[in-house]
Structure 1
C-alpha cells in the first residue's frame, strides 16, 4: 500500500521517501490515460488503488474522481 492514514493525516510512500499531508488538503483525481486514481503532491503523481482512494475520502480528502465510460476516449471499457 502506498498510503497510510492516521488521524486525518495521509502518508504517501514514494521512491523519494514519504510525503505527508492533511487529508482535507489532498484531492483525488482520475488519470484517464492510466485509468487509475491518483493524487498530485509537489509535482509528483502518486497512483493509488480505488480502496485507498475511498479510504482517503472517508478521512476527508476531496473526491475529484470522474467515472470513465465506454464512450469516453481513454476508457479501458
Structure 2
C-alpha cells in the first residue's frame, strides 16, 4: 500500500520518504491516460488503488475522480 491513514491524516510513501497531509487537504483525481486514481503532492503524482481512494474519501479527502467509459468499438464494456 502506498497510503496509510490514521486519525484523518494521510501518510503517502514516496521514493523520497513519506509525505504527510490532512485527508481534507487531499483531492483524488483520475489520470485518463492510465485509467487510474491518483493524488498530486508537490507536483508529483502518486497512483493509488480504488480501495485506497475509497478509504481516503471516507477519511475526508475530496473525491474528484471521473468515471471513464470506453469509446473503442472493440471494448467489452
Taking structure 1 as the reference length, the TM-score comes to 0.91
SS of the residue corresponding to residue 12 of structure 1 reads strand
Q: Structure 2, unaligned stretches of length 5 or more? A: none
> What RMSD, in angstroms, separates the aligned Cα atoms of the two structures?
1.2
1:54 corresponds to? 54
CA distance in 2, matches of 1:5, 1:46: 15
* Count of residue pairs brought into register by the alignment: 73
1:35 corresponds to? 35
Taking structure 2 as the reference length, the TM-score comes to 0.91
Q: CA deviation at 1:29?
A: 0.1
Cα deviations across residues 30-67 of structure 1 (Å, max 9, x unaligned)? Answer: 00001100000011100000000000000000000000
